[in-house]
């Protein structure tokens, strides 16, 4: 393998300001581990600015108008939980969630302006469980869905979203359920949190057939997980020719992850990166961090995934 495209990184230090209670798996150290995964790959950092009014306009493409203000107000009385017990918040959670969206949108804007080929967006809190007006599963704003909407608003479409987090991205699926300008693919453990993502969930109305779920039993290994991703990519390419790809890149199917229940290794994430790079060809890929809670495994998995996505041998 050899280098075939540039790699950009879009992140912001305020993503570390979300500080759940001690011992919570979605901890600030995840940000450093995810960023360090790009070490040695020749990645170039992007400038990301968090202008609240601009970020809110992007958020409103996916979330209800009152939702961000509700989160901001709740954070003023933190520590607390927001919407459910699996969403503990701190004083800095709102700022961190804004920064995560800002980085995701900045990556999408770079794609539209310069045709950037590969963009890594290591941010937290994650997003794919977040629904229109409700936080879920450690997620507040749906970073991947917002990035896809930004691409479409800038004339970059149709868009394929590939979600290989061990948990189903119910918020993303729900948002695009009746859409045919976005293909949503999810490979995940099932049955598991959040309880959605069965194989017969395929979209509705004009979006029927533009959602594809590959539910896998506990203990899926590299061969099973990667085989499902390969089949799902074929489904996406059969639906249309994506002008851009957004990836909900969760690494919690790794065998060392405390929440995953799967047996995927770094070799599996390398294979997923290579398959995605091949499927995308010269179309841009914007990969946004979702889960992954074993820090060393997260860093190693990110490195192999990004290297193979970008067409280079992992360092």
Going along the chain from its start, the domains and CATH numbers come out as 7-309 (3.40.800.20)
Q: Which of 39, 35, 42 is nearest to 12 (CA)?
A: 35
Dig out the tokens for 32 from the structure: 């450093």
* Sole residue written with tokens 């070490």: 39
Please list the residues that pair with 221 across neighbouring strands. Answer: 263
Each residue's pLDDT tens digit, 177-186: 999 999 999 9
Kindly tell me if the per-residue pLDDT of 313 is higher than 90: no
Each residue's pLDDT tens digit, 196-213: 999 999 999 999 999 999
User: pLDDT at position 2, please?
Assistant: 40
User: pLDDT at position 312, please?
Assistant: 84
User: pLDDT at position 260, please?
Assistant: 97
Each residue's pLDDT tens digit, 23-60: 999 999 999 999 999 999 999 999 999 999 999 999 99
**Of 12, 129, 168, 175, which residue is the catalytic one?**
129
| Residue 63 bears catalytic tag | no
Reported pTM: 0.97
Helix ranges, the chain (H): 29-36, 52-59, 67-75, 93-114, 143-153, 170-175, 222-239, 266-280, 295-309
Question: d(Cα 140, Cα 107) in Å, to the nearest integer?
Answer: 19
Q: Which of 129, 131, 127, 111 is nearest to 119 (CA)?
A: 111
């Amino acid at each position: 393998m050899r280098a075939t495209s540039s790699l950009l990184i879009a992140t912001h230090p305020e993503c570390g300001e979300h500080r759940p209670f001690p011992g919570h798996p979605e901890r600030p150290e995840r940000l450093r581990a995810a960023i360090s995964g790009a070490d040695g790959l020749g990645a170039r950092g992007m400038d990301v600015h968090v202008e609240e009014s601009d970020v809110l306009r992007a958020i409103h493409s996916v979330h209800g108008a009152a939702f961000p203000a509700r989160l901001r107000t709740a954070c003023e009385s933190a520590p607390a939980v927001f919407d459910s017990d699996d969403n503990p918040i701190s004083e800095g959670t709102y700022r961190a969630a804004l920064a995560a969206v800002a980085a995701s949108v900045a990556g999408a804007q770079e794609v539209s302006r310069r045709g950037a080929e590969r963009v890594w967006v290591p941010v937290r809190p994650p997003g794919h469980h977040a629904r229109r007006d409700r936080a879920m599963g450690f997620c507040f704003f749906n970073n991947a869905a917002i990035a896809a909407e930004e691409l479409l608003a800038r004339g970059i479409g149709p868009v394929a979203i590939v979600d290989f987090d061990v948990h189903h991205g119910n918020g993303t699926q729900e948002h695009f359920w009746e859409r045919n300008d976005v293909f949503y693919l999810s490979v995940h453990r099932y049955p598991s949190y959040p309880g959605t993502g069965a194989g017969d969930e395929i979209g509705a109305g004009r979006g029927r057939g533009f959602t594809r779920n590959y539910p896998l039993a506990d203990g899926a290994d590299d061969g099973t997980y990667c085989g499902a991703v390969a089949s799902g990519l074929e489904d996406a390419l059969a639906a249309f020719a994506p002008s851009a790809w957004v990836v909900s890149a969760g690494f919690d199917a790794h065998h060392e992850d405390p929440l995953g229940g799967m047996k995927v290794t770094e070799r599996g994430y390398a294979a997923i990166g290579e398959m995605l790079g091949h499927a995308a060809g010269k179309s841009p890929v914007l990969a946004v961090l979702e889960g992954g809670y074993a820090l060393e495994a997260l860093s190693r998995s990110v490195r192999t995934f990004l290297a193979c996505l970008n067409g280079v041998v992992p360092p």
